[in-house]
Structures are given as structure tokens and as C-alpha cells.
Amino acid sequence: MEYRKLGNTELELSTITYGAFAIGGNMWGGNEKKDSIDSIHASIDHGVTTIDTAPFYGFGLSEEMIGEALKSKDRSKVQLLTKFGLVWDGSNQGKGEFFFNAEDNGKKIPVYKYASKSNIIKEVEESLKRLQTDYIDLLQIHWPDSTTPIQETMEALETLIQQGKIRAAGVSNYSADQIKEAQKTIQLASNQVPFSMLNQAIQTDLVPLTIQENIGIIAYSPMERGLLTGKYFTHSKLKDNDHRNGYFGQFDLQKVKTLVEELSSLANTKHISISQLVLRWTTLQKGITIVLAGARNAEQAISNAKTLDFDLSVSELDFINQAISKLK
């Protein structure tokens, strides 16, 4: 495993970071608690020290399982990254920006983006309780909230740093302009954004800005939620309540299948999985600090952790980039 410094902070994070969205179950066709906790333990045992989660993942379940899993581990050697700003329990009393209707056990639950100071303070206390800890290493706004001034949100994060409840403040899904506005109030540690072989839009404006401002980039969905594993082109089938049934439709699946087939030829010669090849390529891209990789069982977690066990040569990177270029 490799470890990288996040922005201007003292945080040293594992380049492959455990992404805990899927273990929450909602939008992913459910979860198996034992498998989820085993995947966390396996990640840590194989060098992954950083875990990224959010209250919305499983409506608190993801954070709760992480808290339970870490009871047998040394908290000081694990970096917990979580978020705030998605409200589903009605506590926002109609305030904030409507996001979408989530589904839980067949029920539609309205989710709002809400990043007021009072809500941030409330959410942090709830997250600390679920995670069974007294501090969060990196707290991030989950999605921009157009109804709350960015200054108010950032002032709340600064207060939490001063109180010792969080070590650093980050954002997620922020545009370049939103980062510039936030930087007027606080020095951001990071921006968590989507980045993959199929989606490199951040290279245009976000990456140059974050490099200039010494802000880390946390890349999420590097595997495009499993599409780049190739398994959904063969025997694997998604459950009806899995959001990926619609998500995959945004891509030209025939071109993606061709890409996966080309990547498979290289992966086979290196005796690695396609997933490991894709993740390793992602860690080597300009501006990327850490890469989130989800795992729903110990086997997947160990595979992700071993991504840093090999390198890609210049010629291999050229081969991969040429294959990606055919998507256009």
C-alpha cells in the first residue's frame, strides 16, 4: 500500500481507500452485515487505513457497521472520512434543496440537500455516535446546497475544527467556482468527485485549480459502480432495486465492453484482475490523491488492497490510454 498526504493537512491516507456506499445497502440491492464487516477488517489487515462513508449510505447503517467493525482495531491508525448535508428524516422541516426520492423497503423517501450551520452540528453529533468515535478525520459536504450560503457552511466546518471534532474540512461534488468561494472562508483539504476511464471531465478545470490551491482530489466511482469489472456483460444480474439498472444506461455499453475486453488482455498477461488494473491506472492520473474502492466481502477488499502491489510501465499506460481513446 502507498500513503499520500491530503492537501495541506497532516493526514496521510491510503491511496486505495475503502468506499462504504455499497455496504449501506440502499440503492445497491441490500447488504449482508457479516460480509460488510469482514470486508472492513480485511481492508485494514491488508494496509488500507482510510474509510470513506456518509450518513446517507444505508440511512446511517454504513456508519454504524464501520463503528462496530473498528471496535477491534486501533482507531488512531484509521482515518475516518464522512459527510453531511443529505437529509432524509424530515428534520430539515422543509428547508434545503430537494434532491431526489430514495427508496427503502419499497417506500419512497424524499432526500434534501441541506448544509446550514445548525444541521451540520446536528449531523456531526449523530455521525460521531454511529461511528463510535470522538473525532472525524475529514468531514465533507456531500452535495452543494443552493439554499445555504457557502460561507455559512464553511464557517461551521471551521468551528468544528476549532472544537477538535474534525481534523480537516473537505467538499464533495463542488465545481471550480464553488471551491473558489469556499476558499474565501476556509482552507479546504479536498474535493471528492467522480473520476474514471469513462469520465475524466475534472481534468479540464478542477484538477488545475486543486493543484494550484493544494487541495486533494478524492476520486469516487473509478469502477463506474462495477461496470468496468466486465461481469455485467456476462453472467451477473442486478437486482430490481439496484440503482445501477438505470445508471449504466448513460454509457455506450458496446464501446465499454470493447474497452473491457482490451483491458482484459493486459490484465491477464500481468496476472491481475481488470478491477486492479483499472484502479491502478486511476491512482496514477494527474491530480488524483486517493481512490475510493468499494467492497462487499473480504475477497473484494483484499483484491482492492493489492492494487498497489504492481506498477504499470509507460508502454502499458500508453496501451490503456489508446484503448480509452476509442470511447470517443
Taking the C-alpha atoms of residue 276 and residue 281, their distance in angstroms, rounded to an integer, is: 9
220 annotated active-site:
no
The helix (run of H) or strand (run of E) holding residue 86 is: strand 86-87
Burial class from Cβ neighbours inside 10 Å (0-12, 13-18, 19+) for residue 101 reads exposed
Residue 168 bridge partners (DSSP): 138
Contacts of 186 (CB under 8 A, 6+ apart): 154, 155, 157, 158, 169
Per the CB < 8 A criterion, the answer to whether 295 and 48 are in contact is no
Q: What would you report as the CA-atom Rg of the chain, rounded to the nearest whole angstrom?
A: 19
Contact yes or no for 85/117 (Cβ under 8 A):
no
All three cell numbers of 7, joined, read 492537501
The answer to whether residues 40 and 51 touch, using CB atoms and an 8 Å cutoff, is: yes
Nearest CA-CA partner of 126 in 64, 68, 58: 64
User: Of the listed 18, 57, 114, 232, which one is catalytic?
Assistant: 57
Burial of 234 per CB tally in 10 Å (0-12, 13-18, 19+): exposed
CA distance 154 to 184: 9
CA distance 95 to 115: 10
Residues serving a catalytic function are 57
